[in-house]
Amino acid sequence: MAERITRINPEQLHATPGYHHITVVEAGRTAHLAGQCPLDRHGDLVGPGSLDAQVDQVVANALTALAAVGAGSEHVVRSVIYVRSDERDALGAVWRRLTESALGPGFTTASTLLGVAQLGFSGQLVEVDLTVALPD
């Protein structure tokens, strides 16, 4: 499967903190995960007020969703990370916690990190949207 995913950083573009500017996926099946939120299986918010606790729950949920389609973090080909903050330090902290987690390999691919004013659930601070190239 790894040979079907190519990650590229053209030397004419700026250096990145771990992600790649371009991800190419050869023909195959893909899965588009809904935005993974910091909710437990009962729909309750985990870690009110804590970015770290919410990131950890999002990672756990994303790994569960990936496993449900027979994929792992290495199969992620695109990520969008939403953080309810306009503070650069908060965005950086979320990025570091995600890249150091079990989901970390998924963030070496094409990725976007956004600070937003509001997310869907009351008290929600982070959400991660993933696209996956499914293994054969």
Residue with tokens 């079990």: 102
Distance CA 2, CA 64 (A): 21
Per-residue pLDDT averaged across 91-99, rounded? Answer: 97
18 in Cβ contact with 98 (< 8 Å)? no
Alpha carbon distance 54, 118 (integer Å): 15
Q: Report how far apart the first and last C-alpha atoms of the chain are (Å, whole number).
A: 7
| Of 11-25, 62-76, 85-99, 121-135, minimum mean pLDDT range | 11-25
Sheet-wide strand order for 76-83 = 30-32, 126-133, 76-83, 110-115
12-53, pLDDT tens digit by residue? 999 998 898 988 888 788 999 999 999 999 999 999 999 999
pTM of structure: 0.88
Q: pLDDT > 90: what percent of the chain?
A: 82
State the angle between helix axes of 51-68 and 88-99 in degrees (0 to 180), rounded to the nearest 10. Answer: 40
What is the model's pLDDT at position 4? 82
Cα 76 to Cα 104: distance, rounded to the nearest angstrom: 10
Contacts for 101 with CB less than 8 Å, ≥ 6 apart:
55, 56, 59
pLDDT of residue 1: 43
Q: What share of the chain is helix, strand, coil (3-state, %, to 5)?
A: 30, 25, 45
Q: What percent of the chain has pLDDT over 70?
A: 98
Q: Which range, of 1-10, 36-45, 91-100, averages the lowest pLDDT?
A: 1-10
Band (pLDDT 50/70/90 cuts) for residue 3 is low
